[in-house]
Amino acid sequence: MHQLKSLPWQVLVNTSAITIGLVTGLDYGLSLLLPPASQIQVVSMFSSPLRLLYSAAVDAVIGILGVMVLEKLIGPRPSIYLSTLWALILCLLMALVVRSLMPIPGVFLSQLHQISIVGILVGVFGKSQRYWR
C-alpha cells in the first residue's frame, strides 16, 4: 500500500490528460480536414472484420505516446519503474473513459472495447522495455 501512495500520481494524471488531449485534437482535426468521402472510407475500415485490429493499433499508439509524454514530464530515466507504467495504463484508460463520455466528433477514436486495454498494454510496454527491472 505504501508503494501505491508513493507513485507520482499528479504527473501520471497530467501525462494521461496531455496524451488524450493530443490524440483527441489530432482526431478532431483530421475529421475537419478529411473530405466526407474519405471519412466514410475510414469509418467503413473500422467496421470491417479487422476493426478490432485497427482499434488495437490506435490504442497502441496512445500507449506509446503516453510513455513519450511521461518521459518528458518525469525527467531522468531512473525514476520510471514498472509500477509507474502500470499506473500510467490505469490513468490512460480512465482518461479514455472520460473522453468517450464527451460528444467530440472524430474519425479514428472509437468506442472503448476490451481490445483497448490490450492495445494500450502493447503500446506502453513495447515502448518502455528499457524500464523493466
Dist. CA 116–CA 100, nearest whole Å: 12
Q: Does the structure show a pLDDT above 80 at 42?
A: no
Closest CA to 56 of 131, 127, 1, 120: 120
* Full-model pTM: 0.86
Q: Does the structure show a pLDDT above 90 at 69?
A: yes
Closest CA to 106 of 50, 16, 39: 39
8 A C-beta contact, residue 96 and residue 62: yes
Place of cell 513495447: 126
pLDDT of residue 90: 95
Say which residue, 71 or 130, is predicted with more confidence.
71
Dist. CA 9–CA 117, nearest whole Å: 20
